[in-house]
Amino acid sequence: MNDDLPLADELAAVTARMWGLLLSHETLGTVLGLVTSLAKGAIPGTIGAGVSLVDPKGHRTSTSATDAVVLRADALQYELDEGPCLTAWETRTLVRVDDLDHDRRWPRWTRAARPLGMRASLSAPLVTEDDALGALKVYAAPPNAYGEREEHLLTLFAAQAAVLVANVRTVEAAQRVGDELRRAFRSRDQIAMAKGVLMARHGSDENTAFAALADLARRQRKTLHDVAQSLLRTTSEAGR
């Protein structure tokens, strides 16, 4: 289908640029911003695009949009707990709004969103295997701006974006675990060094030194790591 070639080019560009971001340790927010920017350019007639990641309870965890009006349209959905984006996420199906002025599916959201000046929209779920991550949506000013071709394009785009977003989240999770392990090891080492200071200072054994450190932490209402760090800092300063 020759009409799909522009989208294929866009998806190839997204993939290459996303992996570049992953390799340079960019954040999920950066990746979401790139997805919305490319979606706006890839779907004909679109004046704004947005993406929302949602937890299992339907609460937004991350969001990005190309325009302030898109941010407001999305925010209204979560404030009112209804709208095409939430429906796309909940049902895992693409949702099309042909004319906001005549759509009756989400009466509160429709009424609140009309003044924003966008009468047509497409919302596609971001799904990987059995996990619904959120939804990608595009908006157009005139009614009936989107048809079957645009539905097909956004569905393909969302599928690619979902894989890439999942990869970024996996990388960030791994980085967080790595950071936590490094902090844990550093804390353990500092506590061990602080025990050594107390053992040398008082001629006590390891268990007695640890008990003294723990008692100090309790009295000062601090963590064991903070007390150890403070003791090491004071000892270092005294030795200068």
Domain end (from 122, 149, 172)? 172
- 198, pLDDT greater than 50: yes
Q: 136 with 22, same domain?
A: yes
Domain end (from 133, 155, 172)? 172
Report the CATH number that the domain containing residue 144 is assigned in CATH: 3.30.450.40
What was the pLDDT predicted at 2?
A: 41
- 117, pLDDT greater than 90: yes
Q: 148 with 217, same domain?
A: no
Two tokens, residue 215: 């008692």
Containing H/E element for 60? strand 60-65
Where in the sequence is the domain holding 14, given as residue range(s)?
2-172
Q: 150 with 181, same domain?
A: no
* Tens digit of each residue's pLDDT (9 = 90 or more) over 209-218: 788 878 888 8
* Tens digit of each residue's pLDDT (9 = 90 or more) over 32-88: 888 898 889 888 899 999 999 998 888 888 899 999 999 999 999 999 999 999 999
Q: 139 with 196, same domain?
A: no
Q: 42 with 72, same domain?
A: yes
Q: 99 with 215, same domain?
A: no
Q: 166 with 212, same domain?
A: no
pTM value is 0.67
Q: 147 with 32, same domain?
A: yes
What was the pLDDT predicted at 65?
A: 95
Nearest to 135 by CA among 47, 64, 80: 64
Q: 81 with 29, same domain?
A: yes
Two tokens, residue 104: 């009756």
What was the pLDDT predicted at 1?
A: 40
- How many domains in the chain? 2
Mean pLDDT of the chain: 82
Report the CATH number that the domain containing residue 190 is assigned in CATH: 1.10.10.10
* Mean pLDDT of the 89-100 span: 96
Alpha helices in the chain (DSSP H): 5-23, 28-42, 68-80, 84-91, 107-113, 148-202, 206-220, 224-238
Q: 136 with 205, same domain?
A: no
Q: 59 with 126, same domain?
A: yes
Nearest to 193 by CA among 238, 239, 227: 227
Domain end (from 115, 146, 172)? 172
97-111, 117-131, 194-208, range with the lowest pLDDT:
194-208
Q: 92 with 168, same domain?
A: yes
Region of residue 155 (phi > 0: left; psi between -120 and 50: alpha; otherwise: beta) = alpha
